[in-house]
Structure 1
């Protein structure tokens, strides 16, 4: 069975001849026809090259990403995680955990936002968005919201401590209503629900 050498063409799947030196692997590219033009009429010089290996570049400007090797980026990441953890803790009623996490998130976020931006050579060129700034702003929002909710809860518990103790120790609904005689209506509505 012929390997194609008699016709002048070498079979690409045939083994190399004996004694041939080793060659590095290369992807197979379709060879041009023997004539100078391709069958579709385009010259060989304008033949499109096959796409290379690896991810294709996305169109548009590159999106900024957090670089964890940068201390400011690590601080922004910690601020964002602390802010979300604080907000979730407050929503689940764990105010004693949410309060220090909220303080930590706000502290980290302010620290990141106080880092000066890199100087630009062209004052009229638009400044690129630093990737740690959106993360710090999100942490400031979530941490600040959790901090406000925690402080409001602590203030209510301190200001109406006697009323809350009375409500917790009351057995009947009449006893619960009797606890709120000297308490504003909005407080009783908040803890007891609307009056029937």
Structure 2
């Protein structure tokens, strides 16, 4: 098969190409959206765009913890491990609220005091606050669902304690099936009853 060569492309698109003749060398700069100084993308007002996630910032860290703990708490509550779901849900609510209300470390330049009227909480992060706020709110929602499911599971176990004790003490399948008589004849009874 013959070698198919691509037509020569202009060197403007090649970041590794030598500069054109008569033009001085320029120091390397990372590609970015608009600024060209490596500080990140800038919007139409010249302000810096959303910053990357900073794991050293406690507000951003708590927002991510809230999302992860709420999600895992919801899964544990769904899969009938309500104690772990309740613990993770409570932690997610704490982390989510502290992320939404938290105050970032004051940004001082060479020991100068921070401005007294600076915004607090996630608002102080500026454009970088949006993904963190989304993570914190999502963590609060999933944590609330996890806590509701955990309390619902505990409420069922208290309401139908006789059925659960009978089922746990049954030694044979027929004895376990006899425990279905302790359940009400409604949707909850149909869900909880022992299947053959």
Q: Same fold (TM over 0.5)?
A: yes
| Pairing of 1:135-146 with structure 2 (within 5 A) | 135-146=135-146
Name the residue aligned to 2:107.
none
Find the aligned partners of 2:50 and 2:63 in 1 and give their Cα distance. Answer: 17
C-alpha distance 171-152 of structure 1, shift in aligned 2 (>3 A): same
Partner of 2:74: 87
Counterpart of 1:75 in structure 2 is 62
Q: Which entry has the higher C-alpha Rg, 1 or 2?
A: 1
Distance in 2 separating the partners of 1:160 and 1:181:
8
Structure 1 unaligned spans of 5+: 1-26, 33-46, 121-126
Alignment of 1:107-118 (within 5 A): 107-115=94-102, 118=118
Whose relative contact order is higher, 1 or 2, with alpha carbons under 8 Å and at least 6 apart?
Answer: 2
Compared CA separation, residues 74 and 161, structure 1 to 2 (3 A): same
Q: Deviations over 1:89-109 (max 9, x none)?
A: 223322221111111101111
Measure how far apart 1:176 and its partner are.
Answer: 2.3
Please state which structure has a larger fraction of its residues in helix: 2
With normalisation by structure 2, the TM-score equals 0.59
> Distance in 1 between the 2:193 and 2:76 partners?
23
| RMSD of aligned Cα (Å) | 3.6
Distance verdict in 2 for CA 1:60–1:177, change over 3 Å: farther
Per the TM alignment, residue 65 of structure 1 is displaced from its structure 2 partner at its CA by: 4.1
Aligned residues: 148
